Chain A
Amino acid sequence: MTDGWSVARALTDPQSAAGLEPAGWTRLLSAARALSLIGTLAEAMADNGVPAEVERVLGDVRRSNIAGQRQALWEAECAKAALATYSGKVILLKGTAFAAAGYRAALGRSIGDLDILVDRSGIEQVEALLLSAGWEWVKPDPYDDAYYRKWMHELPPMIHASRDRMIDVHHTILPLTAKPRPDAAALIADARALPSGLFVLSPADIICHAAAHLLADGDLSGGMRNLWDIDRLVRQFAAEERDFAERLADRARLHGLTGAVSRALRLSQRLFNTPPVFRRKPEPGAGAEQSGPGIRLSPESTSAKRHISDALFLRRITAVDGWGRKTRKLTRQAFFIRSHALRMPPLMLARHLWTKWRMGRRD
């Protein structure tokens, strides 16, 4: 069992760590930290007996968790105040959303940047309001700036001058160059209001966004944490939301993310024993529905192909050792290349890499 897998096991079955020797704990803690899951592990172990020297470390982590979430929620408050005159919905995404909505996925989760979603028609007003409230551009390079504005699903990142916290302002949940085109208007229309006046996505859309972020964007470097989010959210939504499975299937189809959502659920089931949401449908149409446009590695998915590509994803996601080092360099590189292939058609990718390479040489 690799150290990535041992983190997954410790999260799902905290008792399984009880027999660890000091060296085993050391490896587990380092791997969990490298996967950004140390906070989650600390909460999972909160009611378990652990050796005193492990408790020292995990106790500190739990203290950091409290401070981190307080800071993240405060940052959301600051954004809300800055956007008071904006009449559209301000929708929190990812970790801040889980914490603000009180979802169990927030327990121990590290939260970095503040991610918000607003309607594309209001993005210029939002940008101006944030700039006048103390946020500044992080990337002064004109190429990067133009690239973000033309092709990305978000504004170039901004940082608050005095609080040193980043904000990502999204107008949809995938880059405009990606093949799936999520329905941003539907995401915003279905968002749920919080008592604070801020919004979060509907439960089904939250899962769609998490799956899109994991599989149709990026190189899976935060993959295990994303899947842990999905596991916790699915467990909670399946228990608390009416017709969650149907809603999720509908929304995934609407956003063109059926393949990504299905795969995310399969992966989290393999890693964390997430209970299945979709029952296998016997009718012939079901196969086509399972393979959506989100995944290009396995366009026609016989179950065997799917099994092999799932194994590749898991190989990437668990690629960390007991020193917190990334392992399996080739696999990681393959997924890095894939992340670019997903974002851009080949010609555009070639032009982008050429520009970036020249920028790199200039520096």
Chain B
Amino acid sequence: MRHSCFITVGPARFRIGSDWRAPIDLLRSLYRDYPLEQVVPDFTVRLQATSALRRWIRPAVSIAGDFTLPDAAPLPLSQALLAAEMAMNLQMALGWRRHLLLHASAVSRGGRAVIMTGVSGAGKSTLSALLGERGWRFLGDEFVLLDPDSGMIVPFPRPVSLKNAAIAAMEHEVDDDDRFGPVLRDTPKGTIRHLRPRTEAIGLMTRETQPALLLFPRFGEPRAVRRVDEAECFVRLTQASTNYVALGERGFDALTHFVRSIPARAIDYTDGEEGVEMVERLWSEQGVKAAA
């Protein structure tokens, strides 16, 4: 293709080709702290014009690559960063086989990770971004990779995809304007702005951590904490995994081991501050138990 770049996030290597120059420049800027050298990629992503005419007139980006969805709607060129993000997510969701993939966010402290999972809009992404600014290592806001052999969490710290109200919250939290991408308005998901994780988190992205706590956060509900048993965790995580079925027995073994080895809580919280405070509290309670 006319323009291209390579991006490595955690263990996954992407080749991204584009019919236009602008998306590649934006990606290079947003991903400037990530390894960008040429490799043999795990996945190829194509940002291509929906037709020859649409390269120039009302340019529209169709999302394509090694793995595609037949009914993926094209996006205007001004939202090419979102198109790239969606295409990269799609490759991971449909194509990744080295780890069990959980639709979840994660942070870690002292080499032990908190995994947060829930439906879109539950707040897991924003919560991980907030914790990542407050002394935790950010491991990822979209996918958590679970190594079926070792049981370890493998980071996938792509830039956080902030949506709507979360944008202002994180702009307030992060001083460094350079870490934000451009504001993308009127996308199918509302307004979107990407936030590059702290340089330290990207620098440590090949270092695995041990899972220690599983949370099912729910944003905008009155404060509540509920214990979640192994069976419920298992069922909810099979639904949160995009490759559980494809991994077969390896996926089953990895997931049963995972839900048996760590405690799990469902937490409801009214705002980000309360969410952070509840995670910290549960974390220290677990720490006390582990030491006892």
Chain B residues 1 to 44 lying within 8 A of chain A, measured CB to CB, are 1, 13, 15, 17, 38-42, 44
Cβ of B98: which chain A residues have Cβ within 8 Å of it? 56, 60
Q: What is the minimal beta-carbon distance from A182 to any residue of chain B, in angstroms?
A: 30
Contact of A29 among B40, B65, B246, B247 (CB under 8 A): B40
Given known pairs A26-B15, A325-B48, the reply for A64 and B97 (CB within 8 Å) is yes
Cβ of A325: which chain B residues have Cβ within 8 Å of it? 1, 46, 48, 64
Cβ of A30: which chain B residues have Cβ within 8 Å of it? 44, 66
Are A323 and B1 within 8 A (Cβ)? yes
Q: What is the minimal beta-carbon distance from B178 to any residue of chain A, in angstroms?
A: 31
Are B247 and A67 within 8 A (Cβ)? yes
Any B CB within 8 A of the CB of A57: yes
Given known pairs A70-B248, A324-B65, A325-B48, the reply for A25 and B97 (CB within 8 Å) is no
Contact of A60 among B46, B48, B64, B97 (CB under 8 A): B97
Chain B residues 36 to 82 lying within 8 A of chain A, measured CB to CB, are 38-42, 44, 46, 48, 64-66
Chain B residues 94 to 123 lying within 8 A of chain A, measured CB to CB, are 96-98
Closest to B250 in A: A63
Q: What is the minimal beta-carbon distance from A53 to any residue of chain B, in angstroms?
A: 4
Are A26 and B40 within 8 A (Cβ)? yes
Are B44 and A22 within 8 A (Cβ)? no
Are B66 and A324 within 8 A (Cβ)? yes
Are B46 and A324 within 8 A (Cβ)? yes
Main secondary structure of the interface of A (DSSP, over half): helix
Given known pairs A60-B97, A60-B98, the reply for A23 and B17 (CB within 8 Å) is no
Are A25 and B40 within 8 A (Cβ)? yes
Are A56 and B42 within 8 A (Cβ)? yes
Complex: A57 Cα to B13 Cα, angstroms:
10
Any B CB within 8 A of the CB of A54: yes
Any B CB within 8 A of the CB of A9: no
Are B66 and A53 within 8 A (Cβ)? no
How many pairs of A and B residues are in contact by the CB < 8 Å rule? 47
Are A26 and B41 within 8 A (Cβ)? yes
Are B17 and A323 within 8 A (Cβ)? yes
Contact with B along A33-65 (1 / 0, CB 8 A): 100000000000000000101101100100110
Complex: A56 Cα to B44 Cα, angstroms:
15
Chain A residues 163 to 205 lying within 8 A of chain B, measured CB to CB, are none
Are B42 and A57 within 8 A (Cβ)? yes
> Which of A26, A57, A70, A323 is packed against the most chain B CB atoms within 10 Å?
A323
Closest to B52 in A: A329
Closest to B4 in A: A323
Cβ of B247: which chain A residues have Cβ within 8 Å of it? 67
Given known pairs A67-B248, A324-B46, the reply for A22 and B66 (CB within 8 Å) is no
Are A64 and B38 within 8 A (Cβ)? no
Q: What is the minimal beta-carbon distance from B163 to any residue of chain A, in angstroms?
A: 29
Complex: A22 Cα to B246 Cα, angstroms:
28
Chain B residues 241 to 292 lying within 8 A of chain A, measured CB to CB, are 246-248
Cβ of B65: which chain A residues have Cβ within 8 Å of it? 324
Complex: A90 Cα to B46 Cα, angstroms:
42
Q: What is the minimal beta-carbon distance from A281 to any residue of chain B, in angstroms?
A: 46
Closest to B13 in A: A53
Q: What is the minimal beta-carbon distance from A190 to any residue of chain B, in angstroms?
A: 35
Closest to A52 in B: B40
Complex: A243 Cα to B7 Cα, angstroms:
55
Q: What is the minimal beta-carbon distance from A63 to any residue of chain B, in angstroms?
A: 5
Q: What is the minimal beta-carbon distance from A25 to any residue of chain B, in angstroms?
A: 5
Are A57 and B97 within 8 A (Cβ)? no
Cβ of A23: which chain B residues have Cβ within 8 Å of it? 38
Are A64 and B246 within 8 A (Cβ)? yes
Are B246 and A67 within 8 A (Cβ)? yes
Cβ of B41: which chain A residues have Cβ within 8 Å of it? 26
Chain A residues 9 to 34 lying within 8 A of chain B, measured CB to CB, are 22-23, 25-26, 29-30, 33
Complex: A23 Cα to B64 Cα, angstroms:
20
Are B39 and A323 within 8 A (Cβ)? no
Complex: A325 Cα to B1 Cα, angstroms:
10
Are A54 and B97 within 8 A (Cβ)? no
Contact of B44 among A64, A66, A324 (CB under 8 A): A324
Cβ of A26: which chain B residues have Cβ within 8 Å of it? 15, 40-41, 44
Closest to B98 in A: A60
Are A22 and B38 within 8 A (Cβ)? yes
Cβ of B38: which chain A residues have Cβ within 8 Å of it? 22-23
Complex: A64 Cα to B243 Cα, angstroms:
11
Closest to B95 in A: A60
Cβ of B48: which chain A residues have Cβ within 8 Å of it? 325
Contact with B along A285-318 (1 / 0, CB 8 A): 0000000000000000000000000000000000
Q: What is the minimal beta-carbon distance from B148 to any residue of chain A, in angstroms?
A: 11
Q: What is the minimal beta-carbon distance from A327 to any residue of chain B, in angstroms?
A: 12
Chain B residues 200 to 251 lying within 8 A of chain A, measured CB to CB, are 246-248
8 pairs of residues in contact across A and B, judged by CB atoms under 8 Å: A26-B15, A26-B41, A26-B44, A30-B44, A33-B44, A56-B42, A70-B248, A323-B17
Further contacts, 20 of them, CB under 8 A, given A56-B42, A60-B96:
A22-B38, A23-B38, A26-B15, A53-B13, A53-B39, A54-B40, A56-B98, A57-B42, A60-B42, A60-B98, A63-B97, A66-B248, A67-B246, A67-B248, A323-B1, A323-B46, A324-B44, A324-B46, A324-B66, A325-B48
Q: What residues of chain B have their CB less than 8 Å away from a CB belonging to chain A?
A: 1, 13, 15, 17, 38-42, 44, 46, 48, 64-66, 96-98, 246-248
Q: What residues of chain A have their CB less than 8 Å away from a CB belonging to chain B?
A: 22-23, 25-26, 29-30, 33, 51, 53-54, 56-57, 60, 63-64, 66-67, 70, 323-325
Nearest first, the 3 closest Cβ-Cβ pairs linking A and B are A53-B40, A60-B97, A67-B248
